[in-house]
Amino acid sequence: MATIVGGIATSHIPTIGKAIGKGWCNEPEWKPFFDSYKPVHAWLEKVRPDVAVVVYNDHGLNFFLNNMPTFAVGAAARYDNSDEGWGLNVVPPFAGYPEFSWGLIESMVADEFDITSCQEMLVDHGFTVAMGLLWPKEKGPCPVRTVPISVNTVQSPLPSPARCYKLGRALGKAIEAFDEDLRVVVVGTGGLSHQLDGTRAGFVNKDFDLLCMEKIVTDPEALTDYSIPDLIRLTGAQGVEVIQWLVMRGALTGQVSKVHSRYHGVISNTSAAVMVLENSCADERHAREHVLQEHL
């Protein structure tokens, strides 16, 4: 059976992708940010996931205002990157895993989630910046197969935090039901607080960002009490991307332990942060399996 080794929350700001593409990672103004991902790389090298399920929001590349699914899941063999106008380098395609994707889709539909199934899907910076931060190209080809899950954060009505957390629970159940020995990491991308337009452009709420980072670990259901209008008021129009973190957190099926977190503050008008949560349930299961194998 597939096992969820943990979850990662990370920002996906286009400026970060530009810094990666320009090779600015060791520049004084960028080095502290990129250095904060070194513990993430160490953890990934330890747990060695086979598949990354990446929860993000599409920025008009696949879906626009006239065609906006609430939840869309990739079921393709590969996912090509397209620069949708943010000045980012186009990166090589990412490997998919259609059989795994269809297993997730079928299970989540059985749990009464109306999923848009995408047998062709392009990925934008919401996906690629996160992948570039977690698996830098300097370390070689990306070692994981991927499943993109796009959440609507653009066109009203948006799914509520409670609905996204429930989606995560259904996702975790679907992953663990897949009948193959896989190690899976779930990545939630986006945010934290930011607003890119209107009279509140540049809005950041550090206090609420830090509250979210605390509750994601200790009490994620507390965040499900907020409505989308609450989140817009507290985090800005684009700060609602925190619902993608809630999908990630909902997918973790046991007690979690925080391995690493760092709040960076503002990068390009957006609060940036990273967090790694280990699924202790997964560790316990693998330990039991190892002991069992030793006695066979």
Q: Which of 41, 59, 125, 264 is catalytic?
A: 125
Q: Which of 12, 194, 290, 295 is catalytic?
A: 194
59 given a catalytic annotation: no
Beta strands 3-10 and 78-81 are unpaired
Alpha-carbon distance of 222 to 60, in angstroms, equals 31
Which position has the token pair 């330890």? 46
Output the six-digit token pair for 23: 């090779």
The one-letter code for the residue type at 158 is: L
Say if residues 265 and 194 touch (Cβ distance below 8 Å): no
194 given a catalytic annotation: yes
221 Cβ neighbours under 8 A, 6+ residues apart: 165
Alpha-carbon distance of 73 to 111, in angstroms, equals 15
Output the six-digit token pair for 130: 């996160």
Output the six-digit token pair for 114: 């109306």
Beta strands 256-267 and 78-81 are unpaired
Q: What are the residue numbers of the active site?
A: 125, 194
